[in-house]
């Protein structure tokens, strides 16, 4: 299960959102089944500070794999444009033990590009197209 916590108007509101989401996840008994994502570095850092075992991936694309690793992130979850502009980041992330997700990929050419690059996950609006491509390999 992936939970995205959206950025808020202030750090205080983001911190309240982190606390509320973590309480909900704990009370629902799904702590070990949840991955967290956010465009907010403050939110991500709050999730990691609350429990370094939380699986947190950053969405914004402005931090290198090395910076994410140093801050205790589980992975990166960047747009296809960011990963195309920083072609070494997937390999760097994988060598550091970070997971890699790319979004939103909808063409066979891009599917092939990111599969060859070695991403762990692909976010797509075309799951059937990706399934067919993977089945043909």
Q: Where are the domains of the chain?
A: 2-135
The angle at the Cα of 65, spanning 78 to 52, to the nearest 5 degrees, equals: 95
Q: What percent of the chain clears pLDDT 90, i.e. is strictly above it?
A: 99
Integer-rounded Cα Rg, in Å, for the chain is 16
Q: Is the pLDDT of residue 17 over 90?
A: yes
Q: Which CATH architecture has domain 2-135?
A: Alpha-Beta Barrel (3.20)
Q: What's the gap between Cα 95 and its chain centre?
A: 16
pLDDT in tens, 66-106: 999 999 999 999 999 999 999 999 999 999 999 999 999 99
Note if the pTM is more than 0.85: yes
Residue appearing with tokens 């910076």: 67
> Are 102 and 83 spatial neighbours (Cβ–Cβ below 8 Å)?
yes
Q: How confident is the model at residue 59 (pLDDT cuts 50, 70, 90)?
A: very high
């Amino acid at each position: 299960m992936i939970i995205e916590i959206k950025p808020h108007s202030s750090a205080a509101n983001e911190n309240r959102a982190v606390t509320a989401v973590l309480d909900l996840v704990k009370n629902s008994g799904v702590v070990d089944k949840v991955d967290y994502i956010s465009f907010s570095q403050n939110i991500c850092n709050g999730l990691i500070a609350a429990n370094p075992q939380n699986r947190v991936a950053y969405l914004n694309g402005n931090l290198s794999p090395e910076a994410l690793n140093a801050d205790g992130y589980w992975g990166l979850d960047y747009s296809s444009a960011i990963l195309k502009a920083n072609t070494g980041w997937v390999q760097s992330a994988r060598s550091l033990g970070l997971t890699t997700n790319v979004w939103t990929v909808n063409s066979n050419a891009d599917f092939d590009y990111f599969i060859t690059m070695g991403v762990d996950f692909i976010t797509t609006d075309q799951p059937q197209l990706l399934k067919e491509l993977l089945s043909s390999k």
